[in-house]
Copies of this chain bind each other. A is one copy, B any other.
Amino acid sequence: MSDHEQLRTATSHGQSGDALPPVEQHAKQYETVRYAHETELIEDYVELIGDLIRHRGEARAADIANRMAVSQATVSKMIRRLNELGLVTSKPYRSLFLTEEGQAMAETSRARHNVVLHFLRALGVDDSTARIDAEGMEHHVSDETLAIMQRFTEQRQS
């Protein structure tokens, strides 16, 4: 754990600019990002499956592959994982269904996604850009920030 950094003072090289955060806090930032990366693909799949069911009545692997711009083999492998995680049920060669848990995750993700998307539009971001940015940002926005985004959007729209 030894931290020779502590031997230096905060200003010994101070070309100003924002200071480095304390090591523990800095570490937590990166850990949070790594954790988000572990979960976000799963959430994206579940969210998309939910959307497909909602809008089309069913979710088929080929549609997922098309919309994610990924091979069918990749989707197939992923579906196995989602199955193991208890998020979807599927019979071979048939379309997919979300479990209770999967539905809850889809719902949460969708809500989150929408808050971010509407916030960006309220900020004045162009629709297609907002969609792209929202897709990337949604998994990295804390509940606190999400609540603030939602309030902001509501104020702008009333």
Contacts and interface: CB of A to CB of B under 8 A. Distances in A.
Interface of A: 3-5, 8, 12-15, 17-21, 23, 25-33, 36-37, 44, 51-52, 54-57, 62-63, 66-70, 110, 114, 117, 120, 123-126, 128-133, 135-137, 139-142, 144-145, 148-149, 152
Nearest to A135: B29
A25 B131 contact: yes
Number of copies: 2
A137 B135 contact: no
B133 A67 contact: no
B129 A145 contact: yes
Contact of A27 (B13, B21, B52, B67): B67
Sorted nearest first, the 8 A-B pairs with minimum C-beta distance are A136-B140, A27-B69, A29-B135, A26-B67, A33-B136, A30-B68, A13-B57, A137-B140
B3 A66 contact: yes
Interface of A is mostly: helix
Contacts of A28: 69, 132
Contact of A123 (B57, B135, B152): B152
